[in-house]
Amino acid sequence: MLGPDQCLFALEDRWTYAFDAGGDRAVPLAVVFAHTPDDVCNVMQYAAARRIPVVPRGAGSGLTGGAVPAMGGIVLVLERMNRILEIDTDNLCATVETGVITGTLQKAVEKKGLFYPPDPASAGFSTIGGNIAENAGGMRAAKYGVTKQYVLGLEVVLPDGRRVTLGSKCIKDVVGYSMTELFVGSEGTLGVITQAIVRLVPLPETIKTLAVSFPDIQAAGQVVPMLLKTGVTPCTLEFIDRFCLQAVRKTGLSDPVASLISPDTGAMLLIELDGDEDAVAKEAATVRQICGQCGATGIHSARNPAEREQLWEVRRSIHGALAGLCPHWLEEDIAVPPASIPDMLEKLAALALEQNLRILSFGHFADGNIHLSVSEAAGPLSPQRAGEVTHQIFSLTKVLGGRIAAEHGIGLAKKEYLSVNLDDDTLDLALQLKKMLDPSGILNPGKIFPTHDHQPGNPDAANGVYPPGII
């Protein structure tokens, strides 16, 4: 139907599409590369007629198993649909195919004096379609919001192969139900995104970057609620705790950056302000004042783009540095209301002390997104302990009004914990939507919904109508 250059069937080829950036593995029956929306329609019609699972895949950079073919079937790769179809400088929007790399779009619109703000850490290789499917966030979310704030319209192929067009370039559009956002964050379980219209904003005139040292993470955490009360909203406000800083320091940073991380540094904030020069200068003075009130032990301001890159070297080096401390960490991605960050960090510190754990934290302070790396004091957690610790962390998160997933999605990794945040009626409503759009349960089955009593899909799947993947 598509030609041999668009299909892979050899086992060694299928194995290379058995995983994403998380820890789960499952081998598909086939891998198919779509070049056009018509290809996607044809694949979905073929699969629907035979009740074969289909798993949409962008760059495979997700961390929760969203692109893993948990029940076998077809992996539908969308990376070749990678054209920027239009950059509309008059209406401040762009129309793109699903496989466009996020960083590629950002660079293209910046050449025209525009700005696409969503900035996940994977922007250099993740795709727009994947970002939309996961509702990706990133370091600029506190000021600019997450991906859903920038999706004006979508072209989506439904599980039965029909193609629908949702939304438009119009800011005000109340024609029928507002269905665009239904597919944002749906993790490929409701439809396959083939095109998107995304909103752009004018490129900021200037950016100022500050690296601020504190004696401990609690002192750094006090900055957020105080700063937000002044009306200053940083473009980015990243935090890094003592253990992450020391791990990064051991990797061998450039001299100017290494000098900022003394053995006494208990936490660091990386703060960026953007806008016109006068406003940024005033906001920077406010940031300095508040950081001083919260006990900052040092404030360094990048003097040029090269120094800015050196400061961000610290943040980008964390994951690699942690691998030197422990070969395998339990990685969690949680969110709490921003003002609750100091309380959450105190609770995590108490849990680490009580359970003899290492709990390292970094993330996006201004929007309450905390990334955690957890291990035993002497090495990796056993699978049983990992489950117990995850439950304890999520319970603490819930007490503070937080969420078990901030920007990495649910996928396979967190589906059994969904009831921490969603009551049965809410979960049932989501399940009804899934069954309405995908009555045979062929589109990315096994994701989001808990296995025990909320798993949608083909009722005959367990009896071998389609082969399961090899987990």
DSSP notation for 227-291 = HHHTT---SEEEEEEHHHHHHHHHT---HHHHTT--TT--EEEEEEEEESHHHHHHHHHHHHHHH
Tens of pLDDT, residue by residue over 283-317, are 999 999 999 999 999 999 998 998 898 888 888 88
Tens of pLDDT, residue by residue over 145-204, are 999 999 999 999 999 999 999 999 998 999 999 999 999 999 999 999 999 999 999 999
Mean pLDDT computed over every residue of the chain: 90
Residue 55: what pLDDT? 98
Residue 454: what pLDDT? 43
Report yes or no: 396 and 336 within 8 Å, Cβ to Cβ: no
Decide the pairing of beta strands 163-167 and 151-157. antiparallel
Residue 214 in this model has a pLDDT that exceeds 60: yes
Residue 252: what pLDDT? 65
Tally of CB atoms within 10 A around 59 = 22
Tens of pLDDT, residue by residue over 53-63, are 999 999 999 99
Q: What is the mean pLDDT of residues 201-209?
A: 95
Q: Which CATH class, in words, describes the domain spanning 327-408?
A: alpha beta
Q: What is the mean pLDDT of residues 26-36?
A: 97
Residue 465 in this model has a pLDDT that exceeds 50: no
Length of the chain: 471
Report yes or no: 219 and 268 within 8 Å, Cβ to Cβ: no
Residue 254: what pLDDT? 56
Residue 366: what pLDDT? 82
- The CATH fold assigned to 84-202 is 3.30.465
Residue 23 in this model has a pLDDT that exceeds 80: yes
Alpha carbon 447 to chain centroid distance? 16
Residue 471 in this model has a pLDDT that exceeds 80: no
Q: 84-202 with 206-320: one CATH topology?
A: no
Give CA–CA dist 53/192, Å, rounded.
13
Q: What is the mean pLDDT of residues 116-123?
A: 91
- Split at pLDDT 50, 70, 90, the class of 129 is very high
Give CA–CA dist 447/463, Å, rounded.
19
6 token code pair = 């668009």
Residue 327: what pLDDT? 86
Locate the domains of the chain by residue range: 84-202, 206-320, 327-408
Where is 199: in which H helix or E strand? strand 192-199
Residue 321: what pLDDT? 85
Percent of the chain residues past pLDDT 90, beyond the cut: 72
Q: What is the mean pLDDT of residues 34-41?
A: 98
Residue 452 in this model has a pLDDT that exceeds 70: no
Residue 187: what pLDDT? 97
Q: Which CATH class, in words, describes the domain spanning 206-320?
A: alpha beta
- Split at pLDDT 50, 70, 90, the class of 462 is very low
**Of 146, 281, 145, which Cα lies nearest the Cα of 206?**
281
